[in-house]
């Protein structure tokens, strides 16, 4: 099997996975673990009645960022919703598990399940047709492809299942400025802003009550870096071997 086209066309997925190493998971005791953001920050700063401030806003910018990414990693699992031009994904992640869906506007969508050393991929009809055309090897939407994380096909397609969020959280910080305190769907958050060239910027939102988890990355002026929302911190992924017909993914 010639994977030149497949691995080239999925380079965007690999780039996205690399970009996500700047983020991480969360704490199972976080009171915001059921929070699912539905959009941008919506109101001025404020605390819920009885909510105790965690003091994250008093730290330096690097300390805020590092604390948030470490707190995320310590959760052990989370839900990540990603949106980037032409691609979106909704996945539940841990260091050893991954389950959810990736949708690429031009190629179609596919389901991912990863559990330990096993990866299963189920393409939609559109994505199976794209894979067939790109590689010259027939693919079907009626079967699951199985392979190891090192298999060239499953490695490329499961690149969104980035365990480094948990086992190697980014704590580099740098180039950050404190933004305004605000709320995400009523949850008080502290913000950090990293400004780039040509109006590009990334704003990180960290919970300012309960566990100081990173709950959102909001990108402005870039078509390659993703917007990210994190929720369900500490909720088990529960990945299981899929039912139905399973075939081995091509190895070369």
DSSP 118-164: EEEEEE-HHHHHHHHHHHSS---TTSEEEE-TTSHHHHHHTTT--TH
CA distance 176 to 238: 36
Count of alpha carbons within 13 angstroms of residue 217, beta-carbon side: 24
Per-residue pLDDT tens digits for 160-174:
998 999 999 998 888
Q: What is the pLDDT of residue 125?
A: 97
Which of 39, 78, 40 has the alpha carbon at shortest distance from 214?
Answer: 78
Using alpha carbons only, what angle is made at residue 117 by residues 115 and 121, rounded to the nearest 5 degrees?
60
Nearest to 61 by CA among 228, 215, 193: 193
Which of 29-33, 76-80, 167-171, 222-226 reaches the highest mean pLDDT? 76-80
Task: Give residue limits of the domains in the chain.
Answer: 4-237
> Cα–Cα distance between 221 and 223 in angstroms, integer?
7
User: Tokens 């996975």 label which residue?
Assistant: 17
Please tell me the predicted confidence (pLDDT) of residue 103.
97
Mean pLDDT is lowest, of 17-21, 58-62, 207-211, for: 17-21
- Retrieve residue 45's tokens: 């700063």
Query: Could you report the per-residue pLDDT of 74-94, keeping only the tens digit for each?
Result: 999 999 999 999 999 999 999
> Cα–Cα distance between 59 and 45 in angstroms, integer?
17
pLDDT band at 252 (very low <50, low <70, confident <90, very high): low
Q: Looking at domain 4-237, which of 3.40.190.10, 1.10.10.10, 2.50.20.20, 3.40.630.10 is its CATH number?
A: 2.50.20.20
Query: What's this model's pTM, rounded to 2 decimal places?
Result: 0.79
Dig out the tokens for 49 from the structure. Answer: 């009645």
By the 8 A CB rule, do 148 and 119 touch? Answer: yes
Q: Strand pairing partners for 108? A: 104
Which residues are registered as beta bridge partners of 191? 205
Whether 89 contacts 230, CB under 8 Å: no
Per residue in 103-146, pLDDT tens?
999 999 999 999 999 999 999 999 999 999 998 899 999 999 99
Of the listed ranges 1-5, 65-69, 96-100, 223-227, the least confidently predicted one is 1-5
Q: Where are the alpha helices (DSSP H) in the chain?
A: 4-9, 11-19, 61-75, 125-135, 152-157, 164-167
The predicted pLDDT at position 13 comes to 34
């Amino acid at each position: 099997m010639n994977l030149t086209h497949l691995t080239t066309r999925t380079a965007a997925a690999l780039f996205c996975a690399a970009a996500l190493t700047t983020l991480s998971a969360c704490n199972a005791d976080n009171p915001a673990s059921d929070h699912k953001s539905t959009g941008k920050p919506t109101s001025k700063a404020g605390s819920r009645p009885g909510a105790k401030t965690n003091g994250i806003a008093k730290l330096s910018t690097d300390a805020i960022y590092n604390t948030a990414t470490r707190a995320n990693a310590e959760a052990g699992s989370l839900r990540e919703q990603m949106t980037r031009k032409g691609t979106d994904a909704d996945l539940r992640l841990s260091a050893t598990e991954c389950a959810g869906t990736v949708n690429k506007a031009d190629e179609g969508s596919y389901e991912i399940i990863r559990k330990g050393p096993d990866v299963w991929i189920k393409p939609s009809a559109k994505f199976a047709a794209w894979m067939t055309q790109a590689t010259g090897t027939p693919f079907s939407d009626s079967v699951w492809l199985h392979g190891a994380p090192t298999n060239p096909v499953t490695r490329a397609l499961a690149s969104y299942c980035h365990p480094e969020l948990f086992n190697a959280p980014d704590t580099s910080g740098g180039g950050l400025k404190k933004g305004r305190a605000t709320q995400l769907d009523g949850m008080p958050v502290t913000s950090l802003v990293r400004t780039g060239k040509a109006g590009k910027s990334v704003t990180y939102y960290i919970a300012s009550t309960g566990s100081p988890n990173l709950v959102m990355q909001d990108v402005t002026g870039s078509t390659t870096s993703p917007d990210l929302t994190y929720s369900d911190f500490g909720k088990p992924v529960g990945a299981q071997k899929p039912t139905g017909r399973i075939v081995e993914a091509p190895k070369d």
